[in-house]
Amino acid sequence: MAAPLTVLQVCAEMFPLLKTGGLADVAGALPQALRAQNVDMRVLLPGFAPILAGLQAPREVARLPARGDVPAARLLAGRLPACDGDAYVIAAPELYLRQGGPYADAQQRPFVDNHLRFARLCWAAAEIANGIDPQWTPRIVHAHDWHAGLTPTCMRELAVAAKSVFTIHNLAYQGLFPGEVFDQLGLPAACFAMDGVEFYGQVSFMKAALQMADAITTVSPRYAREIQTCEQGMGLDGLLRSRANRLSGILNGVDATVWSPAHDAAIAATYSAQDLDGKALCKAALQAELGLQAAPQRLLLTVVSRLTEQKGLPLLLANLPALIQRGAQIAMLGSGDAELEQAFTAIAKAHPKQVAVRLGYDEPLAHRLIAGADVILVPSLFEPCGLTQLYGLAYGTLPLVRHVGGLADTVVDCSLEALDEHRASGFVFHDFSPEAMDAALRRAELLYGQPTLWQQLQQTGMAQTHDWACAASCYAKLYGDLAGDSA
């Protein structure tokens, strides 16, 4: 067998050590999945406290030089059991060891020096690609989302031979900073230009990556097409269209070692598509845990999401009074927009037997919600991939989604034809309106009253394969093609 292809993955978070969204799930699962594709992937992460705590046998392999106002730092190497692989971690306490989350303080205010904190990550990636660790050098550097967006630019400035891949997880978050911070980043003045990091007078980490990366991917085929339109291009659609020959969509997978109702230690009872009895026990346990009425006949809907307009939560808010009146139950886990948090919390307080809201994020509770609910709601305005609908499919919890992005790629509406052909796996609506969502909700309520058809949809969804093997094969081919270009 040929020697493994060496790839450095650059990201800001990784499940289960640190997670704010789906990026962490991808970052944690991809290195393991690629091993079967003869890819030696190591991970580079900022030295946040949970990351440092999870690094086994850390050793210093290099000192990273200062770049402009980006401070010097120590580069540690060690083993990360979280991804069952080797990793680099940037030890820079002044940048990463702070109260709050990885990107914002305890009051959800973004750290004012985020441009320096994540420029440090990007320069470190370029230094590793340039051979700062004499024991290991990547041929491909795979950067994820805006936090790693300057990586291809930094690689170019160091004239490294490695090729770069950049993955867009959500184009709405672009790493935008005032233009005056550019001089702090350690890049030459020529980089602050239309064909560089400049974006309408600002610094854009995302735009820099789209401009410079050798290959661009995003997390579903449909989203790759959508972001080339004015409607969903977030001001970058022209650039993306100009680089369309470098852009592809690779659908995210689900880590079956974490998300499997047959083996999930976090849920009240395990079950499978062939034996769904345990799902009823999960529902009863969830209703009891959340203080909802113990009523197996009531349709139980769940939301596990950031509470934002992007996730379509205003549509649910508009439909909640009618849903409550019709007898449905709703269980929600998430945080985000303060007005949405307050509105949902107020409704839960007024209807404690029908609505339960838990603010924040709790991974075991997320598993219990998805296992115990009948329907998982993902009515997004836009959705690069979406993972919760994939978790819902795996757990026989039927997704109700808007026909957009990865949601459209993964959920088949319960039309008569799709039901007859055993293809239907959920409920899909098109217009971003309360009325369109309500029509889908009513379809779900009606079908819930037909247990044979409902079980058919559950089993269709649970039979789907959304593991990481397919995505890993696509990434391995992309890496191989790029490495061949540089050979």
Instruction: Please tell me whether residues 35 and 99 are part of one structural domain.
Output: yes
Phi, psi (rounded to 5 degrees) for 354: -120, -25
In this structure, are 174 and 291 located in the same domain?
A: no
- Two structure tokens written together for 480: 């191989």
441 and 337 fall within a common domain: yes
pLDDT band at 134 (very low <50, low <70, confident <90, very high): very high
Q: Which long-range contacts (CB under 8 A, 24 or more apart) does 362-367 make?
A: 362/333, 363/16, 363/19, 363/266, 364/266, 365/333, 366/304, 366/333, 367/259, 367/264, 367/266, 367/267
Contact 124, 88 (CB under 8 A): yes
| Residue 272 covered by a domain | no
Cα separations in angstroms, 466 against 9, 254, 476 = 22, 6, 17
Q: What per-residue confidence (pLDDT) applies to 465?
A: 87
Q: pLDDT-based confidence at 486, cuts 50/70/90?
A: low
Same domain for 183 and 283: no
Is the distance from CB of 102 to CB of 53 less than 8 angstroms?
no
Q: Which tens digits make up the pLDDT trace of 418-462?
A: 999 999 999 999 999 999 999 999 999 999 999 999 999 999 999
Spell 229-254 as b/e; 16+ CB within 10 A means b.
Answer: eeebbbebbebbeebeeebebbbbbb
- State how far the alpha carbon of 64 is from the alpha carbons of 61, 132, 232, in Å: 10, 8, 38
Question: Tens of pLDDT along 192-206?
Answer: 999 999 999 999 999
Q: What's residue 257's pLDDT? A: 87
Q: Do 472 and 413 share a structural domain?
A: no
In this structure, the answer to whether residues 34 and 173 fall within a common structural domain is yes
- Give yes or no: residues 26 and 174 share one domain: yes
| Crossing angle for the helix pair 434-448 and 313-325, to the nearest 10 degrees | 50
**DSSP-derived 3-state class of residue 14:** strand
Q: Which residue has the tokens 């839960």?
A: 348
Residue 345 has pLDDT above 50, yes or no: yes
Residue 158 resides in a domain = yes
Report CA torsion sign: 21, 379, 236, 254: positive
Which position has the token pair 């239907």?
A: 424
72 is a domain residue: yes
Name the burial class of residue 78, with classes exposed (0-12), middle (13-18) and buried (19+) by CB atoms within 10 angstroms of its CB: middle
Q: Find the largest Cα–Cα distance for the chain.
A: 66
Q: Judge if 286 and 243 occupy the same domain.
A: no
pTM of this structure = 0.91
Tens digits of per-residue pLDDT, 360-391? 989 999 999 999 999 999 999 999 999 999 99
Per residue in 207-259, pLDDT (tens digit) is 999 999 999 999 999 999 999 999 999 999 999 999 999 999 999 999 888 99
For residue 290, the model assigns a pLDDT of 98
The pLDDT score that the predictor gives to residue 485 is 65
Cis before residue 16, ω within 30 degrees of 0? yes
Per-residue pLDDT of 256-292, as tens digits, reads 889 999 999 999 999 999 999 999 999 999 999 999 9
- The parent domain of residue 176 ranges over 5-253+468-486
Examine residue 19 and state whether it is found in any structural domain, yes or no.
yes
Rg (C-alpha) for the chain, rounded Å, is: 23
Domain match, 322 and 392 both: yes
Q: Has residue 263 been placed in a domain?
A: no
Whether residue 248 is found in the same domain as residue 218: yes
Rounded Cα–Cα distance for residues 343 and 251 (Å): 34
Residue 267 exposure: Cα atoms within 13 Å on the Cβ side: 27
Residue 224: inside a domain: yes
Domain count, the chain: 2
Per-residue confidence at 487, pLDDT binned at 50, 70, 90? very low
> Which 3 state secondary structure label does DSSP give 286?
helix
Q: Does 175 reside within a domain? A: yes
Query: Do the domain assignments include residue 337?
Result: yes
Tally of helices (H runs) and strands (E runs) in the chain: 18, 18
Contact at 8 Å (CB) between 487 and 174? no
User: Which residues are registered as beta bridge partners of 46?
Assistant: 90
H or E stretch at 138 = none
Distances, alpha carbon 404 to alpha carbons 53, 386, 414, in Å: 38, 10, 16
Q: Would you give the DSSP letter of residue 146?
A: G
Same domain, 343 and 245: no
The CATH number given to whatever domain includes residue 418 is: 3.40.50.2000
Neighbouring C-alpha atoms within 13 Å toward the C-beta of 178: 5
List the structure tokens of 53.
């705590």
- Give one DSSP letter per residue of 405-439, joined into a string: HHHHHH--B--HHHHHTT---BEEE-SSSHHHHHH
Can you give the pLDDT at residue 141? 98
User: Which residue, 122, 126, 153, is CA-closest to 45?
Assistant: 122
Q: Are residues 310 and 201 in the same domain?
A: no
pLDDT tens, position by position, 50-85: 999 999 999 999 999 999 999 999 999 999 987 889
Asked if 48 and 96 touch (Cβ cutoff 8 Å), the reply is yes
The Cβ of residue 338 has, within 10 Å, a number of other Cβ atoms equal to 10
Q: Which amino acid is at 19?
A: K
Q: In whole angstroms, give the CA distance from residue 209 to residue 225.
A: 18
Contact 37, 169 (CB under 8 A): no
Query: Of 175, 370, 402, which Cα lies nearest the Cα of 264?
Result: 370
